[in-house]
Amino acid sequence: MPVNPVPASAGALEIESVSVSYGKFVAVESVTLSVAAGECVAVIGPNGHGKSSMVTAVAGLVRRGGRVRVFGETLPAGSPGAAVRAGLVLVPERRHLYPELTTRDNIMLGSYSRTRRLWARQAWEDVSWVLDMFPELGRLLEQKAGTLSGGQQQMVALARAMAAKPRILLLDEPCLGLAEAVARRVYDWLRVMAETDMTILLVEENPVHALLVADRAVRMYKGLVEQPGVAA
């Protein structure tokens, strides 16, 4: 008998009444959203309406109200480590790589919470399979991440997230600042990831991009989820 049985109706990711405030400014009012296992849901809407705040709160990076559950496990608020250990991994807006570290180190550190290896070489051997998904990174392994192009950096950010072996992937504006051609390539990679059994919550300002990979989309406006259930 499982210790924490998951209700039959529960989604892989359950966001219940999540709110985020910065001082008196309410960025996310009360968002409730459920993502089923293996589903890719896009959160679309104009800039400044709480999409990124919501997803970073879900990942434990900003203080929040409400509840977040991952496969039935309730995550403590404000604990990104707990989120990663539960299998919830964020690819943040603007990537936030480690510019002075190599591509190899950036990817390897994605597995930090999962493997807890002592030696960097061993940790890399555990995650080198990621190159099968992103073979172009093979020739960039010893290059500092800060010297890569925007598209290459996004590829490293995705590879770093995959190294954590996420059950749920949160993607925040993965094409922000990228040229259209590069953005299309990023979405090619995301489509490959979405075809696995991974659960994805995608934040995207551009609905055309979002609907390239999403099973369905919801719109966020003024800190609220406005229209759930828009078919892709």
d(CA 67, CA 53): 15
Shortest Cβ 3–other proteins spacing (Å): 23
Shortest Cβ 72–other proteins spacing (Å): 20
**Using rule CB under 8 A, residue 68 touches other proteins:** no
**Using rule CB under 8 A, residue 208 touches other proteins:** no
In this chain, which of 21, 30, 74, 113 binds other proteins, going by CB under 8 A?
A: 113
From the list 44-52, 119-127, 177-185, 220-228, the region that binds other proteins by CB under 8 A is: 119-127
From the list 118-126, 134-142, 175-183, 207-215, the region that binds other proteins by CB under 8 A is: 118-126
Classified as helix, coil or strand, 171 is strand
Applying the rule CB under 8 A, the residues between 160 and 199 that interact with other proteins are 160, 164
The amino acid at 21: S
In this chain, which of 26, 77, 117, 207 binds other proteins, going by CB under 8 A?
A: 117
List CB contacts of 44: < 8 A, sequence separation 6 or more: 51, 204, 205, 206, 207, 210, 217, 218, 219, 220
Instruction: For residue 165, give both structure tokens.
Output: 């072996």
5 versus 25: smaller Cβ distance to other proteins: 25
127 versus 225: smaller Cβ distance to other proteins: 127
Applying the rule CB under 8 A, the residues between 21 and 60 that interact with other proteins are 59
CA distances from 35 to 84, 116, 220, 229 (A): 17, 29, 15, 11
**Is the separation of the CB atoms in 221 and 49 below 8 Å?**
yes
In this chain, which of 67, 85, 185, 222 binds other proteins, going by CB under 8 A?
A: 85
Instruction: For residue 102, give both structure tokens.
Output: 């190599």
**Is the separation of the CB atoms in 215 and 200 below 8 Å?**
no
**Is the separation of the CB atoms in 39 and 215 below 8 Å?**
yes
14 versus 105: smaller Cβ distance to other proteins: 105
Classified as helix, coil or strand, 207 is helix
Per rule CB under 8 A, count of chain residues that contact other proteins = 32
- List interacting residues with other proteins (CB under 8 A): 59, 61, 80-81, 84-85, 89-90, 92, 95-101, 105, 108-110, 112-113, 115-121, 123, 160, 164
